[in-house]
Copies of this chain bind each other. A is one copy, B any other.
């Protein structure tokens, strides 16, 4: 799918706040509300818009601990790595999961109520896994930016 400049400008506005009316977006980009909606629909169907979600305040929900976890695997073959990944992605505590190049194999963002829950998560998913060589935990002290929008290239 090809995105024109209008699509990009719409996305740039829309991604930050999905509640802004199409009419306002249209006014900003020089299009009618109907045209904006047509494009948003197309962008959803094409998978450019992956999801429309709400970002919640972890603290208010009693999710007091965020940890960034580095995992080093023993067997890094595709089969073994995918098995590991699929198990982690299925866990609700794992908010993000990235397979990376370099000295480590996976980076996770884990969000849990407290350290006891984090401990339980590690026991379940990491300590218990024969393919995990080692892992390192970095407890987040200051979540300065949790899910900023993307820098939509206007080119």
Contacts and interface: CB of A to CB of B under 8 A. Distances in A.
Interface of A: 1, 3, 8, 11, 14-19, 46-58, 60-63, 66, 68, 85, 88-89, 92-104, 107, 111-113, 136-153, 155
12 contacts: A15-B54, A47-B60, A48-B57, A48-B60, A51-B54, A63-B150, A95-B149, A96-B145, A97-B144, A100-B139, A101-B141, A112-B151
Contact of A61 (B52, B57, B145, B152): B152
B150 A58 contact: yes
A52 B52 contact: yes
B143 A98 contact: yes
A92 B17 CA distance: 16
- Most-contacted residue by chain B among A54, A103, A104 (CB, 10 A): A54
Contact of A55 (B1, B49, B113): B49
A134 to B, nearest CB: 13
Nearest to A78: B142
